[in-house]
Amino acid sequence: MTNAKIKGFKMIDTEIKTARQIQFIQAEKMETVNIIAAGMAHEVKNPLGIILQSVNYLETTIPKEQKPSFEVLRMMKNNIKRIDNIVCALRGLYITELKMAQDDINSILKSSLTLIENTIGLKNIKVVMELERSLPKVLVDIKKIEEVFKNLLLNAIQSMPKGGTLFIRSYLKEMGIIGFRVGRRKLHGDYFELGEKAVVVEIEDTGSGISEANLRRIFDPFFTTKGPRDGIGLGLSMARNIIDLHRGFIEIKSREDKGTRISIILKIEGGQP
């Protein structure tokens, strides 16, 4: 082997190690954020309920003729509900237990799609299903995985406000390259061994895509490019947490104005260690 080839292999190995270190640091940071977020949500929930009860009480004491007062109360209730939705999402970030069962990933994909089919019909979006038959069953928390798929499908739909094509794929893949979560070091966070087979789900859209700068922050809690009415930026953080608990991982590839492809890689024998 020539010195040039040896040098090339060393450079590739260094790049892989650097990428893995960055991803592990991000994962550890996210775990800390999730714990703090769950604690904050627990502390906020009770006083928020008391405030809502107080607003409901005021509604019964103020005469209906005082329309400005009623308008203020209505605005207060709407914003309390918005805060409550954020609190519920924060609590959902810190999931520690899964209810595992063997199931067909294609069935879960189809049921997730059914939940949002009305939204798809309204958006003039064509759905292309490319599901590999006879895939091995995966051991997953069906409700949690369904929640992940529904969230990712809705994100894809929202990226195509003028219509487009939504691709949904599933297939079997052999893990043949060392990378994030793939290798021989289980104690260092490798979920998959080289040569191990995994089930892959891809959700791809022909939407607006994600800029390179935003792609680096896509899993950060509360990061969103949507308006305040369309989301609070916790969906992808929650999705990654759920997939990580299954000892799988998510990959996102995107180009501005070219669309986005999200790949979810799941272990066949199931996730929780």
pLDDT (0 to 100) of residue 51: 86
Bridge partner residues of 129 (DSSP) = 168
pLDDT (0 to 100) of residue 35: 64
pLDDT (0 to 100) of residue 7: 47
pLDDT (0 to 100) of residue 8: 45
Those residues whose C-beta lies under 8 Å from the C-beta of residue 49, and which sit 6 or more positions away, are none
pLDDT along the chain (273 residues), means of 10: 49 51 57 64 77 86 80 86 74 71 94 88 87 93 93 91 94 81 66 86 94 83 63 74 88 91 87 50
Q: Does domain 100-267 sit in CATH 3.30.460.10?
A: no
Please give the C-alpha separations between residue 207 and each of 30, 210, 259, in angstroms, as whole numbers: 28, 9, 4
Q: Is the pTM of this model over 0.75?
A: no
Domain positions in the chain are: 8-93, 100-267
Q: Which element (helix H / strand E) includes 156?
A: helix 142-158
Q: Identify the sign of the CA torsion 237, 238, 243, 246.
A: positive
3-state helix, strand, coil in the chain (%, to 5): 50, 20, 30
pLDDT (0 to 100) of residue 5: 47
Three-class DSSP category at 31? helix
pLDDT (0 to 100) of residue 93: 61
How many C-alpha atoms does 208 have within 13 Å on its Cβ side?
Answer: 13
pLDDT (0 to 100) of residue 17: 54
pLDDT (0 to 100) of residue 12: 44
The answer to whether 202 touches 220, Cβ cutoff 8 Å, is: no
Bridge partner residues of 171 (DSSP) = 200
How large is the angle between the packed helices 67-93 and 235-245, nearest 10 degrees?
30
CA distance 218 to 237: 8
pLDDT (0 to 100) of residue 124: 85
